[in-house]
Structure 1
C-alpha cells in the first residue's frame, strides 16, 4: 500500500488531508496530508473533508493549496 486510508470507519478511500484538533482553543485544522501518520491526527479522504462538522462555537481552519 503506497498511501494512507481515510480514518473514518468503513471508509476505504485514500486520504488526501490531515485533521487535527486544538481542544483548548476550540479549533479544528485541516491541511494537506501529513508526511507520516500521527496518532493524534486524523487522515481524511476528500469526501470526509467536505462533510467535516465541528461542535457549535468551534473554528475550522482550512489550509488550501494553490493549484496551477
Structure 2
C-alpha cells in the first residue's frame, strides 16, 4: 500500500483512518485505513480522526483495529 495523505484541505499528514458516510441513515463509519482509495471515502490523519465531529443527530461508528 502506497502512502496516502489526509483528505482535509491543506493537510499534508499521512492518513491513518478512512471515513465513510450514509447520508440517508445519518451515519458515519470511521475505521482503519482502507487498503485502496475509494472515491466516496475520506482518508484522515490521526489529528483529524481525533477532531472528527458530525452534525447533530448523526451516529458515528468507530471501528478499531483488532489488537493481538
Residues 1-68 of structure 1: matches in 2 within 5 Å?
A: 2-68=2-68
TM-score by length of 1: 0.93
Cα deviation for residue 16 of structure 1 reads: 0.2
Q: Once superposed, which parts of structure 1, at least 4 consecutive aligned residues long, lie more than 2 Å away? A: none
RMSD (Å), alpha carbons: 0.9
* Unmatched 5+ stretches in structure 2: none
Count of residue pairs brought into register by the alignment: 67
TM-score by length of 2: 0.93
* Unmatched 5+ stretches in structure 1: none
Instruction: Describe the SS at the equivalent of 1:19.
Output: strand
